[in-house]
Structure 1
Amino acid sequence: MISRAERSANYAILALFAVFALAPIGTVLVTALGPDDASNGGGIANFARAFGAGHFGTYLRMSLLVSVFVVTVSAVLSILSGFALGTMRFRGSTVLFYVFLLGIMMPSEAIVVPLYFDLRALGLTDTFWAVALPQVAQSVAFGTFWMRAFFRTSSRTLVEAARLDGAAPRTILWRVLVPVARPAVTTLVVLTFMWTWNEFLIPLVMVTAEGLRTAPLGLAFFQGQHTQGFTLLAAGAVIVATPVVALYLFLQRQFIAGMLGGAVRE
């Protein structure tokens, strides 16, 4: 049993780490609400000025389209591949799984240049697909690893009962296992959305048109226009970060449940 002193020490350490993590966020938010260097205004008006001056409407729309596409496609593919590698035994399954692991370990910086020339040869550079498809491949690699770990430890009783009832593998997956895997899928969705939304290198290399820039890339160009004052830049940073924070707050319970479930299984 944990003593009162140990519990107090744990809370103190957690509070210290919370302050350490939240202090930069608070600084950016206070700066974004402060007086503008040019107009001496402040408050919510800073966000409106930054939104208009930085063309964040276009960038946010592009980021949202890319993120929704990547999350949807990679989640479906990850569930299918995780189910196959986690519940079935077939020739080459182990080798195939290690290929997916290689995709997790390979950094974007190592493949972005040859990937650019491959996509240029296909006529896909400076298009939506040049931004979305590489991120689908990266997300499926992790998603397969994540969902395989869940399906390998899923309830065998449910699966065997469904098989005895004559259910096909497709029915077992979508009607038996996926509803039980909701926390794991939610965690995968949140992580994939966060990684896709924050991706900077691939959009930077693959596109040049302003209408195809994502929000982080647009923020970098906006930073180049405001090198002297930080008020509007901080407001732009808050605008770019808000969708990820909102999604996490909305799905935090299932996200934490999925993370804890994965930690217990691993």
Structure 2
Amino acid sequence: MVVSRREKWVGNALLVLLMAVTILPFFTLLITALHPSGTYPSGLEIPETLHWENFAAAFQSAHMEKLLWSSVLIVIGVVPVALLISTLAGFALGHLRPPGHRWIFLAFLLGLTLPFQGVIVPLYFQMRDFGLLNTRWAIILPLIGLYMPFAVMWMRAHFVNMPQDLSEAARMDGASTWALFSKIHLPLSMPALSSLAILLFLWTWNQFLLAVVLVDDSTKRTMAGALGAFQGQYGTDIPLLCAGSLLILTPTLIVFLVFQRQFVSALLQGAVKG
């Protein structure tokens, strides 16, 4: 397919425009965070003196080290378990296809339409009855369940596209179902698993609603969930609030930049197979 010079120019211009729209909010936060603490910056005016100490003040005042540790614990509790369950379920639905797998698939498909906001009230009372309110388990357990529809659908789509010849050859060599999964299908599913792990990490790290509603102690929330308490404490100090917001966004940005190639390659692989 031959692309004309005009089409190529228009495409590049649209990409540059989209990149500018994406970067502008982060640039605005950075410029605002560099103003003197306690001031009210207007627009994108760059201050005469850049106050980088606002980041250190925000880190110390909000106890970012505790928030960082809490977010790490929540991610460790959610991501590995969600990956394990969704991989096993995706292999069963996409490759083994037990009786009733179409109805199970439909149930997970309907689960994709369930918003977090629609279950937050029942979740609150359920966590209260279990005695888990104001603990990290009140965030970890619901997130594992709420991520299952998407995670299972993601892994099922991968296993459905796996060649049947591999499984038939392994069966002829006497491979059991577990050996078929662990030695053949699982190694070949690393791109799909890695991209799913990145998505689950980003969603868990940035989880705000469940952390705010189910946990009162800000040091037991995710970093994004603690932003609510941080905003209430420093709502009138705009530069300090912007500095804290950038500190919270930094880990997710680093993870995405480091693993963006794996994520994009998994998406392209799925597009080619589909």
TM-score range, shorter chain: over 0.9
1:43 CA drift (Å):
4.2
1:241 CA drift (Å):
0.8
- In the superposition, the TM-score normalised over structure 1's length comes to 0.93
Aligned to 1:157: 165
Which range is displaced more, 67-76 or 164-173?
164-173
Contact 1:71 1:189 in 2 (8 A): yes
In structure 2, what is the Cα distance between the partners aligned to 1:111 and 1:183? 32
Compared with structure 1, are the counterparts of its residues 24 and 211 closer, same or farther at alpha carbon in structure 2 (3 Å cutoff)? closer
Aligned to 1:233: 241
Contact 2:206 2:225 in 1 (8 A): no
Aligned to 1:120: 128
Asked if 1:79 corresponds to 2:94, the answer is no
Identity fraction in percent: 39
SS of aligned partner of 2:112: helix
Asked if 1:207 corresponds to 2:215, the answer is yes
Aligned to 1:14: 15
Post-superposition, which runs of at least 4 consecutive aligned residues in structure 1 deviate over 6 A?
A: none
1:97 CA drift (Å):
1.5
In structure 1, what is the Cα distance between the partners aligned to 2:96 and 2:102? 11
Contact 2:212 2:226 in 1 (8 A): no
Deviations 1:114-151 (A, max 9, x none): 12112211222222211100000111211100000010
Compared with structure 1, are the counterparts of its residues 45 and 86 closer, same or farther at alpha carbon in structure 2 (3 Å cutoff)? same
Matches within 5 A, 1:7-86: 7-37=8-38, 42-86=50-94
SS of aligned partner of 1:105: coil
1:87 CA drift (Å):
0.5
Contact 1:203 1:214 in 2 (8 A): yes
Deviations 1:150-187 (A, max 9, x none): 10001223222222222222222222122222221111
Which range is displaced more, 69-78 or 118-127?
118-127
2:184 to 146, 154, 176: 176
| RMSD between superposed Cα atoms in Å | 1.8
In structure 2, what is the Cα distance between the partners aligned to 1:56 and 1:42? 22
SS of aligned partner of 1:90: coil
Which range is displaced more, 99-108 or 188-197?
99-108
1:78 CA drift (Å):
0.7
Aligned to 2:43: none
In structure 1, what is the Cα distance between the partners aligned to 2:218 and 2:23? 33
Compared with structure 1, are the counterparts of its residues 164 and 30 closer, same or farther at alpha carbon in structure 2 (3 Å cutoff)? farther
Contact 1:70 1:136 in 2 (8 A): yes
In structure 1, what is the Cα distance between the partners aligned to 2:108 and 2:267? 21
In structure 1, what is the Cα distance between the partners aligned to 2:51 and 2:172? 63
Aligned to 1:246: 254
Contact 1:149 1:265 in 2 (8 A): no
Contact 2:38 2:237 in 1 (8 A): yes
In structure 1, what is the Cα distance between the partners aligned to 2:51 and 2:72? 26
- In the superposition, the TM-score normalised over structure 2's length comes to 0.91
Contact 1:126 1:207 in 2 (8 A): yes
Compared with structure 1, are the counterparts of its residues 125 and 227 closer, same or farther at alpha carbon in structure 2 (3 Å cutoff)? closer
In structure 2, what is the Cα distance between the partners aligned to 1:155 and 1:32? 53
Number of aligned residues: 265
2:198 to 190, 193, 200: 190
Matches within 5 A, 1:127-142: 127-142=135-150
Contact 1:203 1:217 in 2 (8 A): yes
Aligned to 1:92: 100
SS of aligned partner of 2:141: helix
In structure 2, what is the Cα distance between the partners aligned to 1:37 and 1:116? 37
1:218 CA drift (Å):
1.4
